[in-house]
Structure 1
Amino acid sequence: MRPPRLLLTVFVIAICSARLWHTTVGDESSSELDVGRGHLKPFGFQRDPTETTEELDYVPHPVVFYEKYVKPHKPVVFRGAAKMSQAYHLWTEDYIRKEYGNLTVRLEGKSEGDSRVPRGEGGILGRDTLDHFMRNYQSMNAYVISQVPGPMEKDVAIPRCLLCGSFARGIQEVHLFMSAGGGRTLIHQDPYENVHCVFNGTKEWLLIDPKQSDLVYLSRDSLQEFGGYSEVNIDAVDLIKFPKIKDVKFSHVTMNKGDCIYMPSGYLHQVRSNGYMNSAVAIWFSFFTKTHQFDSSDCMVGDSTESLRSIDFKPMSQVDVLWKYDGYSDLNQGHMDIYVLRTVLLTSADEDGKIWLEPFTVHFLQVHDDEEVDDGDNDDVSDEVQFMREQFIHLLDPDGRGYVTVEEINSLTIDQLKTLLLTFDPTDVSNTVEFEYSHISFEEIINLTEKLLESGDKFLGEDFVKRYVNDIGGTAQKADEILSALGASRDEFVTKNMVQMNIEQAVEKFRLARVHDPTVEHMWFEHLLRHDEL
């Protein structure tokens, strides 16, 4: 069992004298003497790296990998392991455009924390074709963070350490990263175990043992989730606001083209990407708990020496990954872990080994809505939530007994667990083509029309489009759609009366759009903490 995840209460320490001095004295060298080394400098400048991360020039057998690294929650670098992937040898700008240019990938801002979602080909928010991206990525404030599109799977090798036992049955998803370099992450921890491999460029990793969680100022949400991030600005660390950062001990790892690193779930790290073209993949797989333990029964068949040799790298196209992406439609990225679902069910059993499904769904399958606080009365929740619960119960208990046994939960197949999960964990809105309806609030649109009407009783449609794109961060296509619902086009005027008559219809899709709700994840996390599973 791995060490329990340490929780953090974020303390923002206000030092009155330091704040007063900081506002009155502008000399940076004096500031550093008084506040500490590396004030307002990038994270990592506050002290020298004092920790080390083990490095291997080979990838171990899965059983060895589990015992030496996964079980003790210990990062390790596999030098040269990414050379087994065709991507290492083939991925150039021209090759990607020629072979995969028509595929669609997901975009984010180059720096984590950017509120603006980039627009790709056709102006679609958060999506782009690889052809358009590779032609423009050097000047775009965007990078690809997407599931690997299906046709590209043959170029990505899954390392031998993940090809048998519970590892092989728990590869959740494989993320593709592509950028022009210069991207950086916040200090964060991932919700899954991770093997990260670099095909182009380099990456600088700063690794922080999670026992130091109390020093990195994790966000409030991070205290309730399997992943999490620090509120510290990693480009300019404010040691007055975040003084404990200077005490963080870390190791520094440079990953070169062709290297891989194992990063345990919950292990804190911060990454900077470099190089003209930077490409990499992250292979996310399930973590283990007291209930969900590592099974190596199919790893050592016959003579153990021979079985060590027989496990080798395989293309992703030949490996069972739980959530894949075809490269064209909505992504399946970011689902909760099916094995965590099984663990939550098993740890909810009574002394007779029964999980009573109605109280289970009432407690765990909720949405965060002040008007839908569930006291056990089905009349208190929406039809959508009630339908979700009924689906979940029917899948587990088609005969209507009211419960399911521990033995039945343990016998559920991967496909059955995925179907159960999807009843309450649909595709994240950020992975859909219609993400814009969820990303932009209908209030922002209404407020924009009110501002445009402040100087008169009408405004030009073209002005609305420009403000919608530049001020709110939407796309011209959706702006035109809103204008049409208001009864105008770009070269026509929208009157105050048109807004009053048509605004509700114009913003209806934005008002009704689904938003990401982390309530279920928070409840799972708290439940597993209480049962000492993390």
Structure 2
Amino acid sequence: FAWFRVLLLSPILICTFGSNVPVGHLKVLGSHRPPSVIIDEFTVDTAPKPEEFYRDYVRHSKPAVFRGAVLESKAYKTWSDAYIREHYGDLEARIEGKKEKWDTIPAGETYLGRDTFRHFVDTYHNSSSYMVSELPEKMYGDVAVIPSVGACGLIGKRFVEIDIWWNGGGGKSVIHKDAYNQINCLYRGTKHWKLFEYKYEKWIYKHKELEDALGGFSEVNVDRVDLIKHRNFAKIPWSNLTIHEGDCLYLPKSYYHQVYSEGQNILAVSLLFSRFDDVNEIDMSDCNDETDYKALRPLSDFDVMWKWAGTGYMTMGWGDIEENYRNELRSYVGSVDKFTVKHWNQHHETLEGFDIPREKFPDLESRNFTKAFKAFDKNKDGILSVNEIDQSTWDEFRYYALQFEDYEPSNSYMFEYSLIPYERVLKLIKMVLKSQEKLTRQNWIKLYTKETKGTPHYANIVFDGLVGQDDVVICKKIT
């Protein structure tokens, strides 16, 4: 009776495939069509020189893969858990949940969203923590810069920020884009990348953000792509890449991508460099016959716009000193006949975050725009000129940025303050004071961490606010 069963099933099959349900609907990202955009790949021997790399790839926002590019680096050869714990254990890093955008912020050794390398090494295999952080400067000497970027030329002089990405496997991102060009090198594990060209952004279903935001992410669910709700997404051709240990990926600015990590130890370092918008040629005058186009160079040989010490307030996400701060100041100073400290203060006092109270965020330095003005005023005549802006150093711009950049809680030890509303903590305090005769510090810490997912560190701060250094509070004495 096999032929009879086939006849019965045939109409069902025809109906299913003949429906209007798009191919790949409610399936994992990439099921809508096979990958079709080919990405060029290089070996150490075939990699382009910096001039070719800029001309053929960076200028055209064209990705490229460098296979085995950092296999000879110190980081690749030495960065075991034990090595990192021993040599860099006291340094800190920013952490988040493995599932970008929809996960809770995990607690580190002391703070929410911040951990020590020592504690992270001890716990990351059994937690949801994902290190997404500026790389501490002390680790630069281990990290390699590939010759296509660092042998010579301007690219290696335009590193904006260095980031570390580290998790225990299973990390998964949303579809998103980053503001800067980057060289992303994988030192441990395997990463699967799906890439979507920026020119298809109109079909990406980008989440609404500020108009001038250079980053951004898609509202498409990468586990179950709804091609009824996001019908145009099915039109997007894409690339599928697997990056292995020792490989590097050039990811152009604003190039949409989704990443899945495979393995039990996934560690990558990303070198972010300037966007070079609408720049056809860049300075390559230091490239010559003596240049070694095969040798890796340590990152410690290069200056980076935003270098982080591995403790304190982080500068992650800050702007490009040349393309943002210097160009913007040139334009603003040049628009006024005699640009004095009065114009300076009038402009900067309108910026968001100018009046953030230091009492709430003690790791925020007091703003001193006048001092920043004086740093730029080379001849001390009280008037800023475009020429003085052009002559100013990166250190002077770093100080300037500290005065006016928006305060970002996730870069701070105070992240917990911004995540857990004051009203929620107050409600919890009132509840416990009404229901108990006395409250011990230990019980308060347990209650606070359970109800708010906060840390013992801030639970202690709240308790100190009630009774100082005492370990017991008599509830009726608190008003």
Q: Distance in 1 between matches of 2:299 and 2:291?
A: 20
Q: Distance in 1 between matches of 2:431 and 2:279?
A: 56
- Of 471, 492, 500, the match for 2:451: 471
Q: Which amino acid aligns with 1:257?
A: E
1:480 CA displacement: 2.3
Q: Does structure 2 retain, via aligned residues, the 8 Å contact 1:331–1:427?
A: no
Q: Which residue does 1:411 correspond to in 2? A: 391
Secondary structure, counterpart of 1:309 in structure 2: coil
Q: Which residue does 2:299 correspond to in 1? A: 316
1:47-69 CA distances to partner (integer Å, 9 max, x unpaired)?
22121111111332221111111
Q: Kindly tell me: are residues 405 and 290 of structure 1, through their superposed partners in 2, closer, same or farther at Cα, counting changes over 3 Å?
A: farther
1:264 CA displacement: 1.2
Q: Which residue does 1:485 correspond to in 2? A: 465
Q: Within the alignment, does 1:100 sit opposite 2:80 as a pair?
A: no
1:200 CA displacement: 1.2
Q: Kindly tell me: are residues 445 and 360 of structure 1, through their superposed partners in 2, closer, same or farther at Cα, counting changes over 3 Å?
A: same
- Residue ranges of structure 2 left out of the alignment (5+ in a row): 1-14, 357-363
Q: Distance in 1 between matches of 2:17 and 2:398?
A: 54
Q: Which residue does 1:431 correspond to in 2? A: 411
Q: Distance in 1 between matches of 2:29 and 2:185?
A: 23
Q: Which residue does 1:188 correspond to in 2? A: 176
Q: Which residue does 1:210 correspond to in 2? A: 198
Q: Which residue does 1:68 correspond to in 2? A: 56
- Of 99, 104, 118, the match for 1:116: 104
1:338 CA displacement: 0.6
Secondary structure, counterpart of 2:424 in structure 1: helix
Q: Which has more helix, going by share of residues? A: 1
1:321 CA displacement: 2.1
Q: Distance in 1 between matches of 2:89 and 2:127?
A: 17
Q: Distance in 2 between matches of 1:149 and 1:386?
A: 24
Q: Kindly tell me: are residues 477 and 352 of structure 1, through their superposed partners in 2, closer, same or farther at Cα, counting changes over 3 Å?
A: closer
1:246-283 CA distances to partner (integer Å, 9 max, x unpaired)?
22221111101111011111111111111121111000
TM-score (norm 2): 0.83
Q: Which residue does 2:39 correspond to in 1? A: 53
Q: Distance in 2 between matches of 1:257 and 1:277?
A: 11
Q: Which residue does 1:165 correspond to in 2? A: 153
Q: Which amino acid aligns with 1:38?
A: G
Q: Does structure 2 retain, via aligned residues, the 8 Å contact 1:487–1:494?
A: no
| RMSD of equivalent CA atoms | 3.5
Secondary structure, counterpart of 2:384 in structure 1: strand
Q: Distance in 2 between matches of 1:402 and 1:113?
A: 46
1:67-113 CA distances to partner (integer Å, 9 max, x unpaired)?
11111111111111121322222222333333333332221111111
Q: Which amino acid aligns with 1:117?
A: I
- Of 99, 124, 133, the match for 2:120: 133
Q: Does structure 2 retain, via aligned residues, the 8 Å contact 1:119–1:128?
A: yes
Q: Distance in 2 between matches of 1:149 and 1:387?
A: 25
* Identity level (%): 33
Q: Kindly tell me: are residues 316 and 33 of structure 1, through their superposed partners in 2, closer, same or farther at Cα, counting changes over 3 Å?
A: farther
The number of equivalent residue pairs is 453
Q: Does structure 2 retain, via aligned residues, the 8 Å contact 1:349–1:356?
A: no
Please give the residue correspondences for 1:85-484 in structure 2 after superposition, counting only pairs within 5 Å.
85-121=73-109, 123-163=110-150, 164-221=152-209, 223-290=211-278, 294-300=282-288, 306-309=289-292, 312-339=295-322, 340-348=324-332, 350=334, 358-359=342-343, 362-363=346-347, 366-368=350-352, 388-397=368-377, 403-425=383-405, 428-452=408-432, 456=435, 460=439, 464-484=444-464
Q: Kindly tell me: are residues 386 and 245 of structure 1, through their superposed partners in 2, closer, same or farther at Cα, counting changes over 3 Å?
A: same
1:162-196 CA distances to partner (integer Å, 9 max, x unpaired)?
32332222112211121111101121111111000
1:371 CA displacement: 11
Mean alpha-carbon deviation: is it higher for 484-493 or for 179-188? 484-493
Q: Kindly tell me: are residues 293 and 336 of structure 1, through their superposed partners in 2, closer, same or farther at Cα, counting changes over 3 Å?
A: farther
1:333 CA displacement: 2.5
Q: Does structure 1 retain, via aligned residues, the 8 Å contact 2:92–2:114?
A: yes
Q: Distance in 2 between matches of 1:457 and 1:470?
A: 18
Q: Which residue does 2:9 correspond to in 1? A: none
Secondary structure, counterpart of 2:165 in structure 1: strand
Q: Distance in 2 between matches of 1:420 and 1:343?
A: 14
Secondary structure, counterpart of 2:193 in structure 1: strand
Secondary structure, counterpart of 1:423 in structure 2: helix
Q: Distance in 1 between matches of 2:340 and 2:18?
A: 59
Q: Does structure 1 retain, via aligned residues, the 8 Å contact 2:147–2:293?
A: no
1:338-368 CA distances to partner (integer Å, 9 max, x unpaired)?
1111122234465899767755664566334
Secondary structure, counterpart of 2:261 in structure 1: strand
Q: Does structure 1 retain, via aligned residues, the 8 Å contact 2:169–2:261?
A: yes
Q: Distance in 2 between matches of 1:213 and 1:426?
A: 27
1:459 CA displacement: 7.5
Q: Does structure 2 retain, via aligned residues, the 8 Å contact 1:354–1:406?
A: no
